[in-house]
Structure 1
């Protein structure tokens, strides 16, 4: 169970009150995350652990940007497990993906 909520605090810091920059960062998240998520699911269907680890690795900056510090650690641990052909952490990562997807629909 993930005990934190995504937020735009870090994006606000990066944008420094520049709404255009803030919107650009949000647009990048909204455009890239669904593609990366689909690539993750494709790799999962193929049971390609190397690709899965790479997919998780590419999503970690977005997790961090959304202020999900504990979830970043979860993703990092999951990535490490995938590199060892181990799916431990799958359920938590799946919950995280759903949380981020839902959040991105609201911003």
Structure 2
């Protein structure tokens, strides 16, 4: 499985460490909230809302350079919109991987 990294953030920031820090702070703040809202939507069986949170979360997936995981998130988002839970476990593994990675930053 691919590993989260800061290559996209470094590319966007063009070496500006202050900007990188601000960007990481936003992600640290937003990611846990969006993740919780995703799980809450699933618990309430609101797949449309869950798909909206997957949409938001997949951008965090891409910002950590996870191209294959981004594709999984996109497919899972579409599955939820169609009423399917296919790829749920894969997506939630990605969330866990990012949660662990963020905790090391």
TM-score by length of 1: 0.96
Unaligned runs of 5+ in 2: none
1:1-107 correspondence to structure 2 within 5 Å: 3-107=1-105
C-alpha distance in structure 1 between counterparts of 2:90 and 2:58, whole Å:
14
C-alpha distance in structure 2 between counterparts of 1:77 and 1:15, whole Å:
29
Deviation per CA, 1:28-48: give whole Å up to 9, x if none. 111100000000010011011
Cα RMSD of the aligned pairs, angstroms, is 0.6
Bigger relative contact order, structure 1 or 2, given CA contacts below 8 A and separation 6+? 1
C-alpha distance in structure 1 between counterparts of 2:58 and 2:91, whole Å:
11
TM-score by length of 2: 0.98
Q: How many residues of Structure 1 are paired with residues of Structure 2 in the alignment?
A: 105
